[in-house]
Structure formats: C-alpha cells, structure tokens
Structure 1
Amino acid sequence: MSKRVTIFDPPAQDHSKALIENVLDLTPVVDLGPDVFTNTRPLWHPPGARGIYGGAAIAQSLSAAMRTVPADYAVHSMHCYFVLAGDSEIPILYHVERVRDGRSFITRTVQARQRGRPIFTTTLSFSRVGSGGQKTIHHQATKPNVNLPEAEPGSLRALSNAGGGPFESRKAGIVNREFCWQDRCRRGHANRACVGTSVNPEEKKVRRYIRARGHISEEGGYQAHLSALAYVTDSFFIGSVAIVHDIPRFSSPAELEKLLSALKNPSDLDDEDITRALKELKEEEAADLRRRIEGALDKAGGENQEDHKEVGMMVSLDHSIYFHNPLAFRADEWMLTEMESPWAGEGRGLAIQKIWSKDGVLIATCTQEGVVRLKQDQPPKPKI
C-alpha cells in the first residue's frame, strides 16, 4: 500500500495568500475530535536532515493552538521538544489539549503524531492583550545598526513568491569573526559584513535579515505573522554553534552532493525552485570551503590535523520562543536576527537568538539546545 503524504488531497495553492500561509495551512480532522488538525500540504525535508524541517512542526503546532483560543489572547511563550524525526511522506496529526483557560492566561499543549507516536510536543501560554494594565515597566535590547538589504536588480516584490521557498534571507555579517564571508576582505574588514575579530566562539554573533515572500493576507491576521515567525526561528539556529567555531556543515563538495540527493518531497518548491535553492546552497557552502582553505593556508605549515574539525551530527533537541510584541511586526517585512552561542560541550550546544522588526522592535527571543557532535579520528570502541 502506497504512502499518503497528506490525509486529504491537497488543494491548489491559494495565490491570494503568501507562500508561507499555504505551507502552514491546517485542515481539521473532525472525525478524530474537535481539536485535531493535520497538514493540508506536504512538508519540506531539508537536504541532509533526519526529517522534516523543524520549523514547520513548531509553526503548525502554534497555528493549531491558536485556533482554540479567543482572538484577544496572544501567545507569549512556547516551549518545544523534538522527540522523533518527522517523515515528510506521512501525514502529521496535531492534537491540542486545553489545559487551562484563565481570565488573563490560557495554556495549551500540542502533540504532533505520526503512526500514533509523538514526534514533537510543545506547551504554549497565551496572555490577554492589554491585561498588564495602564502602567507597565518597559525595556528591550537595542537593534544593532545594520543597514537593510538592498533590492536586487530587476527583482519585483510582487513576483517574489516565484522562487526559493517561503522565506528569503540576506546575510548581515558576523560580529567578531576572524575572516569575512567575502574572499578578498581577509582581516582588513573593508567589507561591511565583517565587524571586529575574536578567537572566542562565545563572543561571536551571527546576523541575518529574513522575511516571508509575498504579502501575508489580511485574512490570516496577526496569527499568520506569528506562525510565519515561529517557522523561521528554527532556520540556521543550532547551526550557529558550528559557525562560531568556523566549522563548515559539509566537509567537501562531494559530501554536499550526496546530502543534496537526500532532498525529498519539498512540497512548496517546483522543479525550477529546487534547482535555484540547491544552487544557492552550493554557492554558500563553496564560499565556506574556500574561506576555510584560505584561512588554513595563512597558518604556518598549514592546518594541523589535530585542529581539523568536521560536524558529524547536528540535531535540535528543544526550542523555546518568547514572543515579546506579537502585534507589532509583519513577517513579510525585513526582520533582523542575531544568534550567539554562550556554551557548547558534552556533545551539545546552546544557541540564543534575538529577532527585531524592521522598525527596531524586539519581537522575540529564542533559545535552542541541540546535539553537536564532531567526526572522531578514531572509530568508537566496540561494546563488550
């Protein structure tokens, strides 16, 4: 019996909505209960990943929970655990449990299941808008002074739904990186993408601008922007642990090709989009490899084999989002993310992410811990 990617036949793309709205669309499964939902369309399996893109499970769980709370309650925190890798060739069922309905706060849990087993679980808290009173304390981390991305020549925002997935992003530099992204900058830092130098990974910060393609519909309301934000919080996140250590995700072009072949069921990308997305990924990884090689040549005698590091396994374990200003941003406008890693050890790494709106409002703070294991020089000892 062949697998079904979705329980119900997916409808055609709704072009009145942004691509991310189509990707995250849910369908109620009333036969199983009033608070059970499933993915309307297939979900993306990133190249080289163990399962579906984690941001999809995060965002669809949020969407499912928001369908069970009044419109005047907005999510303020979400705590998630990735239990098993999601299979993009099997439908996901999102079961929402109404834990508590209070006058100021509402609590929900959501469990995402495949074949009856939980693959993802989250607890969410919603607060009634305006329940803090007229007098409140206020402060926030200041948005870094980073120029907004320039428009690409010949590109039209209205046509941006046509390629590369539901989000577009631009690198905004790495604070305290020893070498710049661009090959010729080196340590002179003439390039804006390089700010200062440090050999300490915990002092580096990875910045990137990101926004949803197209225009998120008025029909989707602020909930669509929150779901889109939740979706993107998992992008590049635990990978920042490797970046601050200057370790490429792929050790060679051949390995990259092998991992790209693992891409399956990309759902929201057609053949042209897949080609474009893979081309961009290849170019980014090739730049990483060139920079790493050139950096090694700068060292006397080249890179010491003992210093050579390659990522062997990188998997997210848990993920938390604190939504600070849920009604004060648009996910289809440029948002600045800044990621750092205060700690790594014992085969794990911790990453922290701040996200600002285009206008400088701090809209979210996220944390993520994951398995970050390096390839070992010696094979593991057999168990006796």
Structure 2
Amino acid sequence: MSFHHSTLVKPPPSDPNKAEIESILELTQLSPIDPDLFTNTRPLWQPPGARGLFGGCIIAQCLAAAYKTIPDTFSIHSMHCYFVLAGSGEIPVLYHVERIRSGRSFATRTVQARQGGNVIFTTTMSFVRENSGGKKLIEHAVDMPYVPGPDHEKVRDVIMKDEGNPIMSRSIDILNSHSPLPHVKKTRQWVKARGRISEEGGHQAHVAAVAYFSDHFFIGTISRVHNIWRIPVARLNHKAVKVDEDVRKDLRKDEDDATEAPKAPPRPRTPTSKKPKPVVSMMVSLDHTIYFHEPRRFRADEWLFTEMESPWAGDGRGLVIQKIFTQKGVLVATCVQEGVVRLKQDEPAPKL
C-alpha cells in the first residue's frame, strides 16, 4: 500500500505508548483549510476480498473527528450512520464536521466522509453533558446472559492474520443453533482492542474503539443464523485470497452443531429431489446505529461481550441487533444495522 495515495502526508512513526487501534484511528486536523476538516493520518484497513474499507474504520474516525469539536464534559450517546459508497484503501478520506447545535445539555454534530469529491459515509451524532440528568433518575438495563468467560475452554480464538486488524476476538457457540427458526438464534463473542489504550486517549479513544469493532461480523449474523455462510475464496484485484482458516473452522463448527439435532429417518433421495444450498452473493451494510449507554464505564482494551440476533430478513435486506456488555455485566451499548443480503440468483441481480 502506498502512503502517497492512502494518506495526504506521510504518516509519522507509531507511538509505542499507544495501542494499535489508537494509531490506526489517528486523525490529522487540516486547520489551514478548515478547523473542522480532518483526514486519516495512517492507511485504513481494507479486508482481503472486501469491496471497500472496513466500515468500522470510517465509523470510528467520524466519531473521533466530532469529539474534537466537543467539550470534554460531553459524551457521545447516539450516532446514526449511512454507508453511501464503498471506500478505497488507496485514497485519503476527508472528514468534515458540521456543528449543528451546541446546547447546555446536548450537542449535535454531522460528519461527512468524502473520497474523490464523493460522500462515502455520513453520520449524525448526539452528545450529552455528563450528569445532566439530575440526581433522581429512571434506571433499568437488560441483564447480561450467562456465558463462558473469555478464558473458558469452550471459547475459541478467532485468529485474524491480517496485520491491519487491531482487535482480538473469541467466539462462543451460537445460542439455539439447533432451532429451525433463524430469529431465535444468537451469535456471541468476546472482543477487545489489542494492547493497552493510553491515558492520553481518554474515554474518547475507548468509545471510538467500540465504534470500530461494533461493525465486526455484524451483518454477517444473518447468513450465520441461516447456516448459509459460503465464502470459500474471496477475490481482490483479480487475485485469489483465502479466507482466514480459523474463521472457516468456526463457521464449519456452527454447521456441524446445527446438524447434531435429532432428525427423522432420512427418506430415499432421487437425483431430482436434491436442491442446491443457497449461496450468499452479496453482503453490504446500509446503515449503522450505536446507542452508547455508559460511555465512561468501560475500557475497550478489556474483554467486552457482544451478542447479536436478527429479528427480520427479506426483500434482499436484513436487520441485526447487537448488545455490548462489560465482563461485570454492564450494558454499555446497543447497536442496530441493516444491510443488503442477496443470494446467488439464476439471473443477474440489479445493481446497487
């Protein structure tokens, strides 16, 4: 990857006192042009075989850019995002922050991410002043489900061999994997940033890190609960790229678990009765919403538990809901994502 094309200026040396995710999400402020204009300091990650940049990169950098226009006493509580175009890992991204409102208790910011003059991503965020709700509060939160801890023998490492990935992930078996009903299944994993996030990063670095990995395996939940994830080989720049073998094993185990449920005796099959298994031909995120409930009560470099489920899929789209908890059971964020999920058709599907 060429620094000349992927960043506006050559990146400075990495700071050994910062976690890898801090360096990846670092921004450069373009004050001589516009004090509310920023760009990526370092090259952004484009996963092998992906159509564009990892969405979590853009989500997190938009949040980091908006935070630079917000007083330290304010914290993010919601962001609503739309993926407009696939981003390229070979072109710098420009982030323009628009200061919509700066009130006493709430502040609103809109950020557009642009490449080559085109908007590739847009988000509107709301920030709230700390402790502005008063001393008397209405409070409740869903309980974290009982699951094996990140170091339990039943929890499997998902090893991501690409050097651009700054997170660690450990997978738990799909809940209700034997059920014929996809909407009752839940995919579960532990996730955290590699290394230790610096004190200099503040709580802003931790929420940006959660925004980054909130897009991890998100829309893919739909194909997993249908047990039709089929990506044996991805192609990037006309070269075959093998999918990480540990992810492949994880997905195969999900399929094996799903076949262990009691079944009726098999009926004799004729060659004409066998139907080909559906194949996912496209999975693309359309929008992404994060509600931060406790933005100052977690560390992203400590294990966080995520649980994802899909209440609906149809018409070439699907919806996924994600809850994120600390190891102590504190619900720190709820995320919602809709995306395009198309199966391979006999005839070509319409273009996006």
TM-score > 0.5, shorter chain as reference? yes
Tell me, in whole angstroms, the C-alpha distance in 2 between the residues paired with 1:102 and 1:121.
22
> 1:306 aligns to what SS in structure 2?
coil
> 1:341 aligns to what SS in structure 2?
strand
Tell me, in whole angstroms, the C-alpha distance in 1 between the residues paired with 2:49 and 2:348.
23
Task: Choose the corresponding residue for 1:333, options 302, 305, 308.
Answer: 302
Corresponding residue number in structure 2 for 1:165: 165
Structural mapping, 1:60-99, within 5 Å: 60-99=61-100
Q: Where does the alignment leave 5 or more consecutive residues of structure 2 unmatched?
A: 154-161
Q: 1:69 corresponds to which letter in structure 2?
A: I
Tell me, in whole angstroms, the C-alpha distance in 2 between the residues paired with 1:83 and 1:17.
31
Q: Where does the alignment leave 5 or more consecutive residues of structure 1 unmatched?
A: 153-161, 179-197, 265-274
Corresponding residue number in structure 2 for 1:239: 220
Tell me, in whole angstroms, the C-alpha distance in 1 between the residues paired with 2:152 and 2:13.
30
Q: Which has the higher helix share?
A: 1
Q: 2:172 corresponds to which letter in structure 1?
A: A
The farther-off stretch of 25-34 and 327-336 is: 25-34
Corresponding residue number in structure 2 for 1:119: 120
The farther-off stretch of 282-291 and 89-98 is: 282-291
> 1:206 aligns to what SS in structure 2?
strand
Task: Choose the corresponding residue for 1:349, options 294, 318, 331.
Answer: 318
Tell me, in whole angstroms, the C-alpha distance in 2 between the residues paired with 1:284 and 1:167.
17
1:10-56 Cα deviation digits (max 9, x unpaired): 11221101111011000111232001110011011112211000000
TM-score for the superposition, normalised by structure 1: 0.81
Corresponding residue number in structure 1 for 2:156: none
Tell me, in whole angstroms, the C-alpha distance in 1 between the residues paired with 2:335 and 2:349.
37
Q: CA RMSD in A?
A: 3.0
Q: 2:193 corresponds to which letter in structure 1?
A: A
8 Å CA contact retained: 1:241, 1:344: yes
> 2:199 aligns to what SS in structure 1?
coil
Task: Choose the corresponding residue for 1:225, options 194, 202, 206.
Answer: 206
Cα 1:107–1:381 shift into 2, 3 Å: closer
Task: Please tell me whether residue 379 in structure 1 is matched to residue 344 in structure 2.
Answer: no
1:285 is displaced (CA, Å) by 5.0
Task: Please tell me whether residue 23 in structure 1 is matched to residue 24 in structure 2.
Answer: yes
Q: 1:326 corresponds to which letter in structure 2?
A: P
1:154-206 Cα deviation digits (max 9, x unpaired): xxxxxxxx97821101112211102xxxxxxxxxxxxxxxxxxx110111111
Corresponding residue number in structure 1 for 2:56: 55
8 Å CA contact retained: 1:47, 1:261: no
Task: Choose the corresponding residue for 1:209, options 190, 197, 205.
Answer: 190
1:97-131 Cα deviation digits (max 9, x unpaired): 00000010000000000011100000000000000
Q: 1:206 corresponds to which letter in structure 2?
A: T
Tell me, in whole angstroms, the C-alpha distance in 2 between the residues paired with 1:228 and 1:146.
23
Q: 2:347 corresponds to which letter in structure 1?
A: P
Corresponding residue number in structure 2 for 1:271: none
1:289 is displaced (CA, Å) by 6.9
Cα 1:7–1:260 shift into 2, 3 Å: closer
8 Å CA contact retained: 2:79, 2:126: yes
8 Å CA contact retained: 2:82, 2:121: yes
Corresponding residue number in structure 2 for 1:308: 277
Tell me, in whole angstroms, the C-alpha distance in 2 between the residues paired with 1:292 and 1:48.
27
1:323 is displaced (CA, Å) by 0.3
1:46-94 Cα deviation digits (max 9, x unpaired): 1221100000000000000000000000000000000000000000000
Corresponding residue number in structure 2 for 1:107: 108
8 Å CA contact retained: 1:79, 1:124: yes
Percentage identity across paired residues of the two chains: 54
> 2:212 aligns to what SS in structure 1?
helix
Tell me, in whole angstroms, the C-alpha distance in 1 between the residues paired with 2:86 and 2:268.
42
1:283 is displaced (CA, Å) by 4.0
Paired residues, what number?
339
Tell me, in whole angstroms, the C-alpha distance in 2 between the residues paired with 1:67 and 1:299.
62
Q: 2:60 corresponds to which letter in structure 1?
A: A
1:305 is displaced (CA, Å) by 4.1
8 Å CA contact retained: 2:63, 2:208: yes
8 Å CA contact retained: 2:309, 2:322: yes
Cα 1:294–1:25 shift into 2, 3 Å: same
